[in-house]
């Protein structure tokens, strides 16, 4: 199996390039438009990029192909997609026709499902990844990895190929558990946009550590923008039976940390609002990192669009977050964003939350479990 990328100024000639080099059996894995040259992608000229795959050595003779269509002029944009669709359908039909070819007609060599079976798996995997919101680039890279790590005969086997894809997904999902039971003190701050579930998640973590693990827990909130926010956490603190400190700035925070230095776990709630607040948070973090080790978790809701998630992870870089926490997995059906964001930020995952119930709806992130969720295996 070979996978290659082609660039061209228009779709038609990009497809011609694919056909010329990889032959008529090539399968298009991904097509995208992007700017090339210019300044930081501005003023660049738009090009079409096609990623295509083909089996190394075709074991069977291809059928005669329909005569090549006369080269078209550059088609208007809306037609491009249907043109690609036609090309893709044509290739799909060819592949399925070829696999239907009766056995024993190939100079005695037996067909074993052949390289074409793996072609079909790979195309199915690519579609599965993309329909679960894994980006086209990530899907291509994952499939390239499956192809690179699996010997040919295993690639032909659907289950083995899928297992390799799950491993490829899981291996990119790093994890860390910042509240795991340890002898020393742990300080964990949750940051992120409003409404993603920071306060609820703090209540879940606090309840688990204090009630199930019998650890000394304190809560600190720096979210003083809304009275209701403080009251929300105060109610949880009362129910769980742990102290809550309200702090207005870095000095307060240091004082509160000093007061609670006997606790095993300190959870810090924050307000995630404006850019200005992010600056304050990064100041807080700088001060904290001078004296003690605080782990900052960026909380992201999986109901947020991927583009917005990316934007948030970029803005919150100022807070120098250490790891990611995904909420509201119960409110979506596709989990590819977890993979995309983990890959884009290079940060480990901590927990996922799956509902509003405190303390039940939270679990430690497990790479293989998340990989299976992404492929809808669970």
Ligand X SMILES: Nc1nc2c(ncn2[C@@H]2O[C@H](COP(=O)(O)OP(=O)(O)O)[C@@H](O)[C@H]2O)c(=O)[nH]1
Q: Which is nearer to ligand X, 9 or 356 (CB)?
A: 356
- Tell which one of 18, 54, 169, 196 touches ligand X (CB under 6 A): 196
* 337 near ligand X, rule: CB under 6 A: no
Question: Where in 205-244 is the site for Mg ion (CB under 5 A)?
Answer: 229
Tokens of 346: 């290079």
CB-count burial class (<10 Å; 0-12, 13-18, 19+) for 236: buried
Q: Which is nearer to ligand X, 292 or 303 (CB)?
A: 303
* 197 near ligand X, rule: CB under 6 A: yes
- Tell which one of 118, 200, 296, 337 touches ligand X (CB under 6 A): 200
Q: Measured from the CB of residue 322, what is the shortest distance to ligand X in angstroms?
A: 18
Q: Which residues pair with 52 in a beta bridge?
A: 4, 28
CA distance 219 to 240: 11
CA distance 312 to 138: 20
* 327 near ligand X, rule: CB under 6 A: yes
Q: Which is nearer to Mg ion, 276 or 307 (CB)?
A: 276
* 270 near Mg ion, rule: CB under 5 A: no
278, 199 in Cβ contact below 8 A? no
Stretch that binds ligand X, among 35-43, 189-197, 250-258, 311-319 (CB under 6 A): 189-197
* 355 near ligand X, rule: CB under 6 A: yes
Tokens of 236: 């949880």
User: H or E stretch including 278?
Assistant: helix 275-291
User: H or E stretch including 336?
Assistant: helix 336-345
- Tell which one of 198, 260, 343, 347 touches ligand X (CB under 6 A): 198
* 354 near ligand X, rule: CB under 6 A: yes
Q: Measured from the CB of residue 362, what is the shortest distance to ligand X in angstroms?
A: 8
* 324 near ligand X, rule: CB under 6 A: no
322, 174 in Cβ contact below 8 A? no
264, 214 in Cβ contact below 8 A? no
* 338 near ligand X, rule: CB under 6 A: no
Q: Which residues pair with 352 in a beta bridge?
A: 326, 363
353, 315 in Cβ contact below 8 A? no
Closest CA to 201 of 365, 360, 335, 323: 360
Q: Which is nearer to ligand X, 322 or 361 (CB)?
A: 361
Residue with tokens 């004296």: 291
Q: Which is nearer to Mg ion, 51 or 232 (CB)?
A: 232
Q: Measured from the CB of residue 231, what is the shortest distance to ligand X in angstroms?
A: 11
Q: Measured from the CB of residue 363, what is the shortest distance to ligand X in angstroms?
A: 11
Q: Which is nearer to ligand X, 114 or 178 (CB)?
A: 178
CA distance 185 to 192: 23
* 328 near ligand X, rule: CB under 6 A: yes
Q: Where on the chain is the footprint of ligand X (CB under 6 A)?
A: 194-200, 327-328, 330-331, 353-356, 361
């Amino acid at each position: 199996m070979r996978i290659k990328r082609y660039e061209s100024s228009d779709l038609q000639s990009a497809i011609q390039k694919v056909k010329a080099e990889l032959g008529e059996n090539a399968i298009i894995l991904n097509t995208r438009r992007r700017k090339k040259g210019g300044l930081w992608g501005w003023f660049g000229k738009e090009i079409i990029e096609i990623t295509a795959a083909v089996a190394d050595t075709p074991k069977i003779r291809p059928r005669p192909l329909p005569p090549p269509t006369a080269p078209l002029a550059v088609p208007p944009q809306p037609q491009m997609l249907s043109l690609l669709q036609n090309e893709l359908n044509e290739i799909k039909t060819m592949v399925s026709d070829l696999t239907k070819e009766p056995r024993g007609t190939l100079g005695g060599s037996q067909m074993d499902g052949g390289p074409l079976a793996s072609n079909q798996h790979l195309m199915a995997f690519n579609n599965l990844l993309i329909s679960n919101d894994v980006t086209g680039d990530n899907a291509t890279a994952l499939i390239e990895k499956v192809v690179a790590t699996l010997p040919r005969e295993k690639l032909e086997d659907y289950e083995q190929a899928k297992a390799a894809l799950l491993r490829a997904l899981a291996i990119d999902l790093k994890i860390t558990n910042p509240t795991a039971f340890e002898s020393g003190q742990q300080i964990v701050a949750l940051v992120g946009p409003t409404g993603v579930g920071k306060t609820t998640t703090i209540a879940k973590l606090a309840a688990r550590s204090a009630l199930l693990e019998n650890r000394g827990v304190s809560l600190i909130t720096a979210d003083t923008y809304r009275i209701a926010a403080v009251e929300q956490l105060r109610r949880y603190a009362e129910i769980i039976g742990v102290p809550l400190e309200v702090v207005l700035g870095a000095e307060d925070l240091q004082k509160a940390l000093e007061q609670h230095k006997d606790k095993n776990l300190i959870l810090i709630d924050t307000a995630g609002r404006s850019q200005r607040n992010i600056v304050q948070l990064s100041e807080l973090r700088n001060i904290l990192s001078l004296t003690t080790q605080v782990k900052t978790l960026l909380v992201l809701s999986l109901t947020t669009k991927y583009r917005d998630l990316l934007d948030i992870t970029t803005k919150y870089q100022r807070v120098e977050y250490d790891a990611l926490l995904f909420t509201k997995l119960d409110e979506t059906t596709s989990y590819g964003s977890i993979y995309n964001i983990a890959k884009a930020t290079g940060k480990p995952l901590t927990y996922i939350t799956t509902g509003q119930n405190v303390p039940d709806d939270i679990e430690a992130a497990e790479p293989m479990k998340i990989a299976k969720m992404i492929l809808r295996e669970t």
